[in-house]
A and B are shown apart, each in its own frame.
Chain A
Amino acid sequence: MDLKDLYRDVIVDHNRHPRNFGRLDPADAHADGFNPLCGDRLTLYVNLDGERIREAKFEGSGCAISVASASLLTEAVKGKSRAEVQTLFDDVHTLLTEHDASVDTARLGKLAALGGVREFPARVKCASLCWHTLNAALERASAPVTTE
């Protein structure tokens, strides 16, 4: 286990200077994420243009991995459709949990910096918390949009 592989420069930078940090008000949807094991808490806000995420912000407190992951997420999902976000989530999940994973790192962009997390199984939840929270927010955003 190499710490430098976990705390890569991109991670350290996004932890020290989280991007898109703060509240979106008004927001089309938001959701809270909580990891009771370590006390990570975050709220994720999204504004949508139809099926696309126009804007994403987050606030909360957590470890370097969870803060950096959320910060990277808000940059990565901007302008993406729900389907594209789902693909990205699947890629990130594979990256975080599967050894010898064949993930297209070009598609992941900066998110590939989370690749060191899989060597630290206790920390996978820290990195994935924001993604589950985003899913919850998007589900919530879709809930009222029924045509019945």
Chain B
Amino acid sequence: MNAATVPVRRTDFDVERIRRDFPILHQQVNGKPLVYLDNAASSQRPRSVIEAIDYYYEHDHANVHRGVHTLSQRATDAYEGARETMRGFINARSTREIIYVRGTTEAINLVAQSYARPRLQPGDEILISALEHHANIVPWQLVCEQTGAQLTVIPITQSGEVDFAAFERLIGPRTRLLALAHISNALGTIVPVEKFIARAKEHKVPVLLDGAQAVPHSVVDVQALDCDFYCFSAHKMLGPTGIGVLYGRESLLEAMPPWQGGGDMILSVTFAKTTFNQLPWKFEAGTPHIAGAIAMAAAVRYLQSVGMERIAAYEHELLDYATARLTSIPGLRIIGTSPHKASVVSFTMAGIHPHDIGTILDTEGVAVRTGHHCAMPVMDFFEVPATARASLSFYNTFEEIDRLVAALEHARKLLA
């Protein structure tokens, strides 16, 4: 290894202390210590999150917003308290703007069906980019089919950045919504969304951001961003699966019809007329994932105890190190080379299919994602059937990147 090409490790980040908080990391996989590098698909949970779920079910569980009894009150307090934590996490103005959903996918579908569908006319346009996850493509295709609107796609560049000049040409009088990833899951590109939002505002076009990959790695402030909708999932930021948040600007949410009907989203029901509940409950039909919301807030508290800035700085060091080490492997091509990236490295290797890389790494205890990463248009653009992707979290170490590199060398010897 050429010392000049590998960044010096400056970090004072106490990763070993962090790792002690994550029980799952301390195990052998196929006889080797686990190296978990599939964080962009789903992160792992610290003990405090797991304990929050246990504590809730062992002490406080009852249905929320229902009973006058003590447990129902405790459950409601914890559930609504979690909403305040989520509000603070993304700096929304009010908890009325924090809608609990199953995850990013449901959040985007909610906006597509409740916000976009009633407004779209034939010939109107929804603008997305070519680096979107399927979750930020398919809901718009569905609503376009339902309304006769058209889906317009901003191209990306060879480095995997959204082409701003093309965006300026594509946005126009028929654009009704701009829906963009904040950070690309397949490439790691950090999209300079502020620039896009500012231009969209000039056209009076509302903006939805898919923040699934952004919330675990950086400070997100929806007021500073000035976006209209922001969507994210708990399970990519140390929280449970099956819960996430739709942030919406209150004035827009107020004007939107409910998208699912049932209990909890109503104030009064007669067969003649139903009065819907206020925000945010108007969009939360049925008994929600109460434990999930509470544990998601525990995940936020954990992230904040470490500090989002420190997390971002350490992950950036990991990214620089991984990029330099992987680049040194003959035949390895990194897909997604934007100068502004989150800690995601997608790559291919000459003569070795990503699927084989995945299997060989797994026998070495190294977990990476292989495949199209729910972003088939991105794969088509780079003319690869699939990539292998190492996505790093702040509980990963430089030594684990060395293990990845050694395993890739092993794969190369075996198959290339």
What is A's interface to B at a CB cutoff of 8 Å?
1, 3, 6-7, 12, 15-16, 36-41, 61-65, 67, 120, 122-123, 126
Contact = CB atoms under 8 A, between A and B. Distances in A.
Interface residues of B, number: 18
Interface in B187-211: none
A69 B101 CA distance: 44
B92 to A, nearest CB: 37
B376 to A, nearest CB: 8
A8 B30 CA distance: 19
6 contacts: A1-B30, A7-B356, A12-B414, A16-B351, A40-B385, A63-B355
A98 B30 CA distance: 21
B337 interface: no
Interface of B: 30, 351-356, 359-360, 363, 370-372, 379, 385-386, 414-415
Contacts of B372: 36, 39
A4 to B, nearest CB: 8
A26 to B, nearest CB: 27
Q: Which 4 A-B pairs have the closest CB atoms?
A: A39-B385, A63-B355, A63-B353, A39-B386
Nearest to A38: B355
Contact of A38 (B351, B352, B354): B354
A91 to B, nearest CB: 24
Given A1-B30, A63-B356, A64-B352, 5 more contacts: A7-B415, A12-B414, A38-B354, A39-B371, A64-B415
Contacts of B355: 38-40, 62-63, 65, 123, 126
A64 B363 contact: no
Contacts of A6: 359
A38 B359 contact: no
Nearest to B364: A3
Given A7-B414, A37-B371, A122 B359 contact: yes
B415 A41 contact: no
Given A63-B356, A65-B356, A38 B386 contact: yes
B233 to A, nearest CB: 21
A63 B386 CA distance: 10
A47 to B, nearest CB: 27
Contacts of B352: 64
Contacts of A62: 353, 355, 385
B273 to A, nearest CB: 47
A95 to B, nearest CB: 18
Nearest to B379: A39
A41 B385 CA distance: 9
B359 A123 contact: yes
B382 to A, nearest CB: 12
Given A62-B385, A123-B359, A3 B353 contact: no
Nearest to A67: B353
Nearest to B352: A64
A39 B360 CA distance: 18
Contacts of A1: 30, 363
A58 to B, nearest CB: 15
